[in-house]
Structure 1
Amino acid sequence: MVRTVKLRVRVNHEVYFALKEVEGEYRGILEDALEYGLRSGVNSFVMLKAGIYGAEREKHGGLPSHYIYTACEDASMRLKSFLKLRRLGRAYTDRPELRSVTVHLDDHLWRFGLDAIRVATKRGWVGLEPQYHKLFWMYLNGGWGLASEARFKLLEGNFVEFFIVFKKDEPKPYEPKGFIPVDLNENSVSVLLDEEPILLETNTKKITLGYEYRRWRIEKGRSTKDRDVRRKLKKLRERDKKADARRKLAKLIVMEAYESRSAIVLENLPKRAPEHMVKGVKDKQLRLRIYHSAFSSMKNAIIEKAREYGVPVMLVNPSHTSTTCPIHGARINYRPNGSNAPRVGKCPVGGELWHRDVAALYNLLRKAGDGRPMPLASTGPHDPHVINMSVWPRAKSLHSIMSEMKV
């Protein structure tokens, strides 16, 4: 397992200039490696290094030679990614574009110390003195080991972003004693905990539309190449805000499964799931919301956190989970009742009322192999407990939320 921690450091002009010099020469080596790979039809690190090492060593004589190695590794990854996208028909250019550069370091180019991180440059070793934050100490003291590789990126104002990589062996998954089904939706995540459905709001719809309106106001009548426009767009933190919610939610769910020794049951969503979901959808706003909902990112966040704790994850067929009655297997009839998207429907066989998210949770449980009798009554709508986003990110566990609600 691999985790990357980002540290932001402000350095003096001499250190910044030395790193800027390295970045410029690294970019030149990277451009040459990409050009050689495209021209020669090779994309492996070994072939790229063999093809350009001699010429680059002469051109960049004062630069530590291992920067040529790491630049070739960087070029190899970029070429493989570009060729894969081109095979899938998702490449929009005829060659990979080199927009931003993050300088890769191996164990010969950097040294870690709690007082300072040292980086090799043409002018010798320079030191960075970062303020280590809580996440860094959590990994350093939590059984994770420092990897040999690292990266740095230069920002304006003499700031340097330094990326430290931690590694840890993946624990062996335990034998589960039960199941915790999790249903992913656009604006919420539903969980069945101790036979009680919980709906955790994520406010993804509100975040998506809010940031879209802000982008529209910034770009209105102006070019996106405008420096002021680009600066304002960079300040929009939509991606960071959604990623933060995903990480916190994933940890809540995984810790509940870990403490109860249960397996997590998720829908096995197809690759590029939003493209399948928007087929036939003409509403532009709805299409935008679906694309920005990041169902697969939420699924992957839960799987990645589960790997860290050895929690088993079961991926089941997602078809008809919210439209099938868990008791009779009949198609639930969702009739509009003052709403274009009703959440409660009725089973035509037994007359049970089902909330879409609750039906999905019990169907996921059935598909995972849980054959216990249905614990709910047959006439109620079975609405889930709705947990607002102002509550669950600060909660220690889902059980603590349920206890407070019962009190």
Structure 2
Amino acid sequence: MEKLYKLSGFAKLKKLSKTLKRTVVLEGWTNRTGRQALGEITEAYRSMLQEMLDYAVENGASQSTLHRVFYHRFREQYPWLPTRVIKSCYRDAVRRARSFRRLRRKGLAKTDKPSVRSVTITYSDSQDWRLVNGTIELRTHRGWVKIHLRYHRQLIRCLYGGWRLSSELKLRLAGKRVIIYLTFTRDFTVSYDPGNVVAVDINEDNVTVALFKEGRLVDVYRIETNLGRIVIAYAERRRRITRGKSTKVREVVKALRKLREEERKNDIVYKTARIIEEIAKENNAVVVVGNVRRGKRKLVDRAEKSTIRHRIHQWGVATLVRVLSEKPIHVVEVSEAYTSTIDPFTGKPILNYTPSMIRIAVRGSRKVRVIKVRLRLARVGNGLILDRDVVGAINIGLRYLTSGGSPMALGSTGPHEVRVKLMNPHRGPTPLTVLKLTKSN
């Protein structure tokens, strides 16, 4: 007999106020006078930052201590430098010193003292800069400098989509170009039903999503990201490019830049997050994800081979959680310990999984492509044969819905089957096909 899970008191939607922040990266250019002024500010900032950084590492100084020790001396040494640039400099020094001490405790620091390589200047007050007619006007010791910007779609969406431009501006020099970082904020009111849950299980090559309505499982989505295969492929390409050569050789540097691994992975992560956001908004649901950052650290500590550690570091699971947190949805993190090894219907441990593979023909715009889906199947208590990732997603949802993750009945899909909608992040929320995991005989 099936065990039913009943919810009460979830009839009304709950509301949550959420302030989101977006950083828009722009490319700009200025004339020779502007580049000279920015270059002088950059060199002064670099000198101050290195001195403050050394002091902060040796003495464990805070921002207030650095202000007391260095502010008046640097005001006399650089009277032409804006005051707020000096204040942002010792905030930067404290942040870098904290990071260096953490690396040194773990034995990952390669030098005895931290060194300043790249410098990003922060103007923290809008009195010293303004955005006017497609240009950034910046106050410097040589007067107001105009930085012409190359607009793109993300900036236009923020400017005319209800986002507020913050008073902080960051910039850095990159040859003759100027890289600008603009920050936008916006307040959202998120409505959600605590009984509707989108449980997300993040794996190496897929993201499995289990949708619960009123505490009952109704749908399962499997988004094939193939991030694990991409990481392995790019690692092999880098190995071939750098074989017998130094990574500082010009040809090697140029070839490595053409790989664009990070851009490709980020594109998949953002498209996957968009699909999860649409499912959550459509069902007024809470997005529940596993605490993958904690699990990732454990996997790194256990890994013996450097290739395995590299795959874990390049996995991008923490990036997906961060991107989801920056969406106008309610995101909750729960422990994902043992979620893949416990039967969600009986609470008993699953002893083993049987590997399996299916091939699906997907018709594209020009040709038919075959997709291989790797599964690890096990028979659970109610007679269903479920994939390991589906089990993990269901148990993550139960961790949020119930304190102990007690068993529950299936929803509208019926007691004898679970339909898994196979999806591609590049094609949006439209399923490629539906896999039916049926009851075994």
TM-score range, shorter chain: 0.7 to 0.9
Say if 1:106 and 1:148, in contact at 8 Å, map to a contact too. yes
Distance, in Å, in 1 between the alignment partners of 2:38 and 2:233 is: 38
Which residue does 1:136 correspond to in 2? Answer: 155
CA positional deviation for 1:336: 4.3
Compared CA separation, residues 95 and 234, structure 1 to 2 (3 A)? farther
1:53 aligns with 2:75: no
Shift of 1:135: 0.8
Question: Greater share of helix residues, 1 or 2?
Answer: 1
Change (3 A) 1:121 1:230: farther
TM-aligned CA distance change 1:364 to 1:42, over 3 Å: closer
- Corresponding residue number in structure 1 for 2:55: 36
Q: Are residue 265 (structure 1) and residue 288 (structure 2) matched?
A: yes
- What corresponds to 1:386 in structure 2? 422
Q: In structure 1, what is the equivalent of residue 263 of structure 2?
A: 240
* TM-score between the two structures when normalised by the length of structure 1: 0.85
TM-score scaled to structure 2, two decimals?
0.79
Aligned partner of 2:7 in structure 1 is none
Q: Equivalents in 1 of 2:415, 2:341: separation in Å?
A: 17
The residue type equivalent to 1:224 in the other structure is T
In structure 2, C-alpha distance between the alignment counterparts of 1:231 and 1:99, rounded to whole Å: 20
Shift of 1:159: 1.1
Cα distance, 1:35 vs. partner?
2.8
The CA deviation at 1:360 is: 1.7
Q: After superposition, give the CA deviation of every residue in 1:230-285 in whole Å (9 maximum; x if it has no partner).
A: 344344322232222222221221232123211112112353x3331255545654
| Corresponding position of 2:8 | none
Q: Which residue of 2 aligns with 1:199?
A: 222
Return the alpha-carbon distance in structure 2 between the equivalents of residues 386 and 47 of structure 1: 56
Query: Aligned to 1:319, what secondary structure does the other structure show?
Result: coil
In the alignment, the residues of structure 1 paired with residue 281 and residue 221 of structure 2 have an alpha-carbon distance, to the nearest angstrom, of 18
SS at match of 2:116: coil
Contact 1:2 1:165 in 2 (8 A): yes
Structure 1 position 154 matched with structure 2 position 173: yes
Residue 331 (structure 1) aligned to one of 349, 354, 367: 349
Which amino acid is 2:119 matched to? Answer: V
Separation in 1 of the partners of 2:382 and 2:196? 28
Structure 2 letter corresponding to 1:293: W
The equivalent of 1:120 in structure 2 is 139
- Distance, in Å, in 2 between the alignment partners of 1:353 and 1:325 is 11
Q: Distance in 1 between matches of 2:391 and 2:57?
A: 52
Contact 2:196-2:211 at 8 Å conserved across structures: no
Q: In 1, Cα distance between the equivalents of 2:276 and 2:98?
A: 35
1:228–1:281: structure 2 CA closer, same or farther, 3 Å change rule?
A: same
Amino acid at match of 2:379: K
1:314 is matched with: 332
Offset, 1:13: 3.0
Total equivalences in the alignment: 388
Which residue matches 2:252? 229
Matched, 1:20 2:39: yes
**Cα deviations by residue, 1:28-66 (Å, 9 ceiling, x for unpaired):** 121122233345x14322321221223223332333343
Indicate conservation of the 8 Å contact 1:177/1:261, yes or no. Answer: no
Q: Is the 8 A contact 1:182 1:265 kept in 2?
A: yes
Could you tell me which runs of 5 or more consecutive residues in structure 1 were left unpaired when the two chains were aligned. none
2 CA distance for matches of 1:188 and 1:20? 46
Q: What one-letter code is carried by the residue in structure 2 that aligns with 1:111?
A: R
Closer/same/farther in 2, CA of residues 60 and 205 from structure 1, 3 Å limit: same
Residues 285 and 80 (structure 1), Cα distance of their counterparts in 2 relative to 1, 3 Å cut: closer
| Whole-angstrom CA distance in 2 between matches of 1:57 and 1:20 | 19
- The worse-fitting range, judged by mean Cα deviation, of 110-119 and 83-92 is 83-92
Given candidates 20, 23, 28, the residue that maps to 1:9 is 28
Q: 1:281 to 1:229 in 2, by over 3 A?
A: same
1:357 to 384, 389, 393: 389
How many Å separate the matches in 2 of 1:332 and 1:25? 62
Paired residue for 2:111? 93
Which aligned pairs between 1:180-199 and structure 2 lie closer than 5 A? Answer: 180-193=198-211, 195-199=218-222
Distance 1:22 1:280 in 2: 46
SS at match of 1:289: helix
Partner of 2:378: 345
Q: Distance in 1 between matches of 2:113 and 2:282?
A: 49
Displacement of 1:377? 6.0
The aligned residue for residue 288 of structure 1 is 310
Q: Percent sequence identity over matched residues? A: 31
- Paired letter, 1:136: L
Distance 1:58 1:225, change over 3 A: farther
Question: Which one of the candidate residues 410, 425, 430 is aligned to 1:374?
Answer: 410
C-alpha RMSD of the superposition: 2.8
Paired residues of 1:29 and 1:71 also in contact (CA < 8 A): yes
Which secondary structure state, in structure 2, belongs to the residue aligned with residue 186 of structure 1? coil
- Indicate the residue corresponding to 2:371 in structure 1: none
| 1:152-200: CA deviation from partner (whole Å, max 9, x where unpaired) | 11112x1111011112346466443411111110011111247221111
Matched residue SS, 1:112: strand
Q: Which amino acid aligns with 1:226?
A: V
User: Which runs of no fewer than 5 residues in structure 2 stay unpaired?
Assistant: 1-19, 213-217, 358-373, 435-441
Where 1:368 maps in the other structure, the secondary structure is: helix
Query: Is residue 325–residue 332 contact of structure 1 (8 Å, CA) maintained in 2?
Result: yes
Whichever residue aligns with residue 159 of structure 2, its letter is L
Whether 1:297 and 2:319 are equivalent positions in the alignment is yes
**Match of 2:333, SS?**
strand
